[in-house]
Structures are given as C-alpha cells and as structure tokens.
Chain A
C-alpha cells in the first residue's frame, strides 16, 4: 500500500539521521585557532583597566593586551582577536564549553577554581590584587572594622562574597549583604545609596569609582582583606595551548626586564649584541619551535603589544583615570612580584 510505504520510508530516514555520527572536529585549541584565524578571548563586559571598550568600540586593557600577545605569537597579528564579553556567571561555563579559547577576565586564581571547574589557570598573574572596601566619604569611616551594622554590596559568584564573610566574622562585625549578578547593577545600587559599602578587588573599586558622577565623594578604605591574584585560564587537558599562553605572558615581563619596548624593538633587533635580547627579538636561538610557533614569536609580541610595563602604564598607571601605582605589580628587581623564568 502506498500509505504504508510512505510511513516505512519516513521511519527509515528518521532512524538513519539519528545514527549518523556527528561531525565532531575534536581538534585541539591551537588547531582551532589557526583554522579560525582568530583567538577568541573571554573578557569582562566592562572593567576599566582590564577590558573595556572605548568610545570607538575598540577594546583596551591589560587582559586585552594578554590576548593580543597570544594572537601576535600564534597568528602573527595582534588584532586577530575576537572579544567575547562575559559576566561573572557565564565566564567559567563559556571557557568549559569551548566558546572562548582564553578566559582573560581579571579572574582570581584559587584552588577550588583550579581543581574543580575543568579549567586550569596558567599561573601567570598579570595583576596582584587584593579585596578592599569603598565607602562614601560623608560617612567618615576610616576603617572597615567600623562597618558594624552596615549594608555591603557584593557581586554574586565571586571570591569577594566568601572573603567578606570570613573577614567580618573574624572581626565580630555584623553586616547585611545585598547580592547582585552584574557589575553594572551593583555599581548602580551603590552609587544610588542602597548600600553603605562596596567590596571587591581594589582594581575594580578604582574602576568603579571612575563610573561615579562625582568620584571625589568616595574613598577606598585601607584594609586589604585577601589575596586576589588575577590571571588568565584555559581549558584543562590542552597542554600545548597552556604553554603558549603562559610563555606569551612571560615574554612581556622578560621584555620589560631587558628594557625592550614596542618603540625600540626594531632598533634593538638590528643593533643589540646581548644574546638574551637576540633570543627575544628573533635574531638568536629559536625558542618558538618547541611551542609549535616560529622564530619571531616574541619579537612580534614586543613590537605589536609592548612589554608589561607599557601595558600597565597605558591602562592602569598614574596618568590614566585609574591612577594606580605599580606597587607589587613591578619587576622582582624593583621590589615587586613579577618574575619571568628564563625563556630558553
């Protein structure tokens, strides 16, 4: 019967479709990046100094510079990056699912995150931060321990929540917390006066203050209640990509140690006799071969992105609205914590 033949053929077709194996290109991240011709970089929706868009829609910031360094190393062009803004709820899921290749989103490196989320931090800390408090100046408070009975705004799903709980418990301070899901919501609530104190990383506080209509009315309290080492993360299980991201960062630190900048890179490449400088600028030993890159990978990083110090001064330094001092984010030789292992 025609009727039964139609039904039978539809059935066979349906079963066949279900059993066709999915076209899974289970390639590694590096292959995917090369195939796409772009590094997909997970950044913050808006964190001044780390990743934010300027009025022309261009992304700037220290986290942005890290992704640009990786792109310069792998794809030969620092601009071949696609930025995916992520809020604190989606960031880890986006990295786990493969939506982004690097999560460079001022994320604190912690044991729980390293061990249980299917991601791994490269251990390269591009900003040593700590958690602090910001309060309106008119409350006349000089210390966070005097916040007894205050309401504190905090962002959900961040290390800030846990830290503030422990700090206040240790100092016998009773407080009420209001939890928001996005940085925009929390800043709107704090500047509207919903809560008396805002707690997050110091760099975030400085950035948030630039969003106030009158930044001079707010003051950051002196207490730093936690260690917040901020750095990039990649997916677990891809050592090749892990190495590339890690060493791209260390290349920028080493460049600053050697005094190389994007301005003098070409001149040094032509003239310098120092073997370390020659290695960095592609005229000496080939360090890229072992990472699966070419000889000029560090030269391109220095030339197109600049060294760590340049990135800091341009995004966070005293001349920017953030106005932060180098502090511990300086080279080890100058009393800070940045120490690049030898690139050879």
Chain B
C-alpha cells in the first residue's frame, strides 16, 4: 500500500510508488514496447497492417467477383479476386472427373465418412459398437463411389478423384498400415535375431526413401511382379504403395509405445503364466496402442498431406483436380484464387486434425506419450 511504503521509506527521501503491473497500459508496455527492438518491431508491424489490410480486404472480399462471369472477371484486371473461378470449377476441383450426373454419390460418401470420423473422435465413443459403425461406413463408401449394385451405375476407379479420393487413400493408408506396423514393431523388438533383422531392414529401407519412389514402385514394378494375367487397377496399386510406406512409420510409432511400457508388465504377465502371444494381445498391446493415439492422429495428418503426391502418378486427387481445372485456357489466369481455395480446404482439415491431436493428448492426460519426433 502506498501509505505503508511511505511509512517504511528511509528518511533520505520518499520513493515513488511501484509502477502498476496490471491493466491495459501495463500489458501493452510488456508485450509491445518492452525493449527498443520490440518497439521498432511493433511500429513496423502496425504500419504494415494498416497499409496492407484494407487492400487485402478489398482484393479478396469487397471488390471481388463471386459469380462465374468470365467477362466481369477479365474486367477486374487482377485488381480484385475472381472467385467466379471457384464458383465455376468447384465441382471439378472437389470431385475430379467423376461423372457430372452422379456427383451426389461421392458427396454423400464423403459426408458419411466425415460424420463417422466425427463420432469416433470423442474418447467416450471408443467402444465395441464403433467397430460396427466403421464396418458399415467403409463398405458403404466403396459401394457409393463404385456402384454396380443397388441400382447405382458403375463408375470405375480411374474416374474417382478430388476430395473423396484423398479421403479414401488416407483412410486405407492409415487403417491398413496399422496391423502391418504392429507386426513390424513387434518384430523389431523381438528376441529372434532373424525377425529383428528383417523388420529393421524393412523399416529403415522404407523410411530412407521418398514417397515418390514408393509410388513409382507401385506404378511400374507391381505389374511386373504379379503373375501373368493377374491385373490390379491403378487405385489399388497406389493404395498398396501408400500402405507399405506408412507401415514403416507406423511401426516406429508403435515401437515408441512399446518401449514406454515398464518391464514390470512383461514380468507380471510371465508370472501368471501367459505365453508370448497372449502377453502381447492381452497386456502389452492394449496399453501401448492407447499410449500412442495422438501419434496415430499425427500419422493420419501426414498421410492426408502425402496423398497430394499421387498427382505425380496421374491420379486426380484434390491437387491434381486443381491442375486439371487450370487447364482451361479461359480461366487459367485466375490460378491464385484456385490455389487459395484448395489451400484453404487442406488447411481446414489439417489444422483441425492437429488441434484435435493436441486436445486428445491433453484429454488422455498422463496415459499418453508426447507425440515427440513425429515425421514431417
């Protein structure tokens, strides 16, 4: 209290009361003007924002053309955004070359899968019936996309594209790589030298090469090692390639979980007479897998971003469909709007997943490992 401070002050002169540490002014001083470099940075930033923000708003929102009017867009002469490009081409970008009439099917299929993902998100939903839900949703997705039964016309896998293709490849990539990853992780930690050597060789080999190489192997080499007359379509080959690639990273994630379990678990299981496989199935794996759930979500996120690479092997996922839509000579000049749109779609999904992963980690509390050195 100022009065007390004045009382306790030495008689050599009254001191000023301490500066206020709370309040708006103090916050501003601490956060924006604390030191000279900080003040300079604040001034520069504020000046930049004041100059740029009205322009950006005018370019992107107020002055922009929203309808698919080519003449109006050309008249803008790049002073404002032509969102008409998105209005004109959004179906091509989101669904690829799927037949125009039937595009309700990939829409329904994608919404179904996203709803199932939403339901699976909360830990309270992690019960037996969730498996049933997925056992229904995944085949429903394939049936809706592919058709051929239930009165739906057949649409072959070569025409699948856009967002549904991205979602499909991500789902297959993650779910099929989980069992393979578990096997590899168990193999790497096994006492049998041959199993350990084989698993380590596979994991280090696959982690050391870029995904594009694996996609090339899937495109060029798979057909060569299949028996004569046995054909698998491009989508299955690419999905298999992505799965084999992800399995190596998944193995490292599971191995991290296995390593975090105390030895006491193994010893206790042995003391009640459980064999190796029983120990793994009933004691070790349930705990280890729960520990690494946030890392699983990170793997989901990186697989989602990696599916954009299938453009290089000529499959039209979201990125590939964007390039396809930019092939139109009329609308080619509005590439910036197209890239912003697709970038925003990716950002919404990926940012959502990373926020979810952080939330999940907090929620599962001390029962999880930090996601740690997750792969980029």
Chain A interface residues (CB < 8 Å from chain B): 3, 7, 22-27, 45-46, 57, 82, 84-87, 89-90, 93, 96-99, 181-182, 184-185, 187-188, 191, 210-213
- Can you name 9 A-B pairs with beta carbons within 8 Å? A3-B275, A22-B230, A45-B314, A90-B313, A98-B231, A182-B314, A191-B332, A213-B330, A213-B332
**B314 is contacted by which of A23, A46, A90, A99 (Cβ under 8 Å)?**
A90
Tell whether, in the assembled complex, residue A23 and residue B223 are in contact, meaning their CB atoms are under 8 Å apart.
no
Bound complex: CA A27 to CA B230 (Å): 10
Tell whether, in the assembled complex, residue B329 and residue A213 are in contact, meaning their CB atoms are under 8 Å apart.
yes
Bound complex: CA A212 to CA B327 (Å): 10
Task: List chain A residues, Cβ under 8 A from B234.
Answer: 99
Tell whether, in the assembled complex, residue B224 and residue A212 are in contact, meaning their CB atoms are under 8 Å apart.
no
Tell whether, in the assembled complex, residue B227 and residue A211 are in contact, meaning their CB atoms are under 8 Å apart.
no
Tell whether, in the assembled complex, residue A23 and residue B230 are in contact, meaning their CB atoms are under 8 Å apart.
yes
**B275, B277, B327: most-surrounded residue (chain A CB, <10 A):** B327
A128, chain B: closest CB distance, angstroms: 28
With an 8 A cutoff between CB atoms, is B129 at the interface?
no
**Beyond A84-B158, A93-B220, A99-B223, is A211–B329 a contact (Cβ under 8 Å)?**
yes
Task: List chain A residues, Cβ under 8 A from B226.
Answer: 22
Interface residue tally for chain B (C-beta within 8 Å):
30
Interface SS of chain A:
loop
Bound complex: CA A23 to CA B230 (Å): 7
With an 8 A cutoff between CB atoms, is B280 at the interface?
no
Residue of A nearest to B233 (CB): A99
**Beyond A93-B219, A211-B327, is A82–B227 a contact (Cβ under 8 Å)?**
no
With an 8 A cutoff between CB atoms, is B99 at the interface?
yes
Task: List chain A residues, Cβ under 8 A from B156.
Answer: 82
Tell whether, in the assembled complex, residue B224 and residue A97 are in contact, meaning their CB atoms are under 8 Å apart.
yes
Contact with A along B138-172 (1 / 0, CB 8 A): 00000000000000000010100000000000000
Task: List chain A residues, Cβ under 8 A from B174.
Answer: none
B82, chain A: closest CB distance, angstroms: 14
**Beyond A97-B224, A184-B327, A212-B329, is A24–B99 a contact (Cβ under 8 Å)?**
no
Task: List chain B residues, Cβ under 8 A from A24.
Answer: 227-230
Bound complex: CA A45 to CA B96 (Å): 14
Bound complex: CA A82 to CA B154 (Å): 13
**B333 is contacted by which of A22, A25, A93, A213 (Cβ under 8 Å)?**
A213
Bound complex: CA A60 to CA B205 (Å): 45
**Beyond A99-B231, A99-B234, is A87–B223 a contact (Cβ under 8 Å)?**
no
Task: List chain A residues, Cβ under 8 A from B229.
Answer: 24-27, 98
Tell whether, in the assembled complex, residue A87 and residue B329 are in contact, meaning their CB atoms are under 8 Å apart.
no
Given contacts A3-B277, A24-B230, A213-B330, 7 further A-B contacts (CB under 8 A): A24-B227, A84-B158, A85-B314, A184-B324, A184-B326, A184-B327, A211-B327
